[in-house]
Structure 1
């Protein structure tokens, strides 16, 4: 049953901006049930993911890739992941209204063609990058080519900047922000580490097109309040950073930390859902009934 998150007696919509879904070949758990029968992977994925969301009061989420999948067949393997993400979205759009694509910059022109297919054929809203798992700098020439294609297709880039990793360092992200000043980048994990958070405080003073998710944060409600004060709550996107089965949590503590912060109710609504809808250029879905 969906946990109700309220402010001032009014229910708040939550749209989670950071979910990963993928099979990690060779390391995936078997998925056997108690009766010894193997679950359909996507049935298991849906059931366990929805359970974690409902326990946290999260009505909806954007579903995106995880970058541990094998690539013996190059872009065909990437396309297979994207087809699976789009199909997962389509089976339950009330909970997963948007999907974002996998893209491998080192696939060259084939990557650009896959970006176009993801938008025009699959109707995907954005593209996710995690350069430290993809073997190229986040500001590499290959990455820039992909970003130009993403912008041309009207999609949103979701870019990891994982703390301590030089492939995804804040100064590299800043280069991209300045090169594509009219594009909003959603930076994933960028404010998880102390040093990177301090660096991004400076970066946002020089750029106006970076938004940050709340995935992997520690510091509780105090950090939420401090970050909102330093960079503005309008730059914050709620996320739980939920991975595939077996899920990393059964209930997201980030929901409690955000709702327990000293942000106003209106600001909480912005961070929990409305900021992300604005970046996507979509109207909020609101508190519509979620089908079972």
Structure 2
């Protein structure tokens, strides 16, 4: 993987990718670089205004790109279902080659989603669990499809608490964030195990951007009106973070590089902070089969989405 960069992305002509949170940051870069290599990209974003603006920017950056914006609010399961239903109806018999579960929120004050879930767990994990489950039949029908879920090195802040998935007993925003990112990795682990059990060649993998300059870090201070903290976050980004173009490389590697293993975790090479994509350290609890199965079952119950594995095998 030494020195791998966006110019190493294989030709993506004829392939279709859905990228959540593609209106800015590493999501936008991921969509842009896939489009640059010939993929048809669907920018799945919560804000119609920002999604439309990102689509216009992408078409400017990549003249002739085949791209579209579709509204998706991962904090509202009705929106997730609507997205999947409309995508299925309009895509017809076409396949889906890449699903990049990129969108996320970080260290927010306690909030609940439209369905009553703690926002970080609800958006970062449950929304993507439901989206993946609803789109899974289409992915299973597509030879060589991949599902890439973006986690974080901050998953190390905490294992999930099966008795308090919504952090109702004692909410600490960074711990809740770490648990939601551990949930991402456990989801990938269990998804990869289930795909292997049915003999599917669909690859479920995870990635993280290290410390990349995006809007994510300043979102919570901005939401709370803490202007000084927001400025500190933005200054820290400029001084210490790698650009979003570099932060997107692990996701792009996991989505396109030959030989990516199921349940792999790719991040920046240098201390998981910056640099070219490389195999990343992950906490042992994210590789626990029993925990993965329990989280899967709980996620099915909470979202009322039961992913169907009936489809194409290897």
TM surpasses 0.5: no
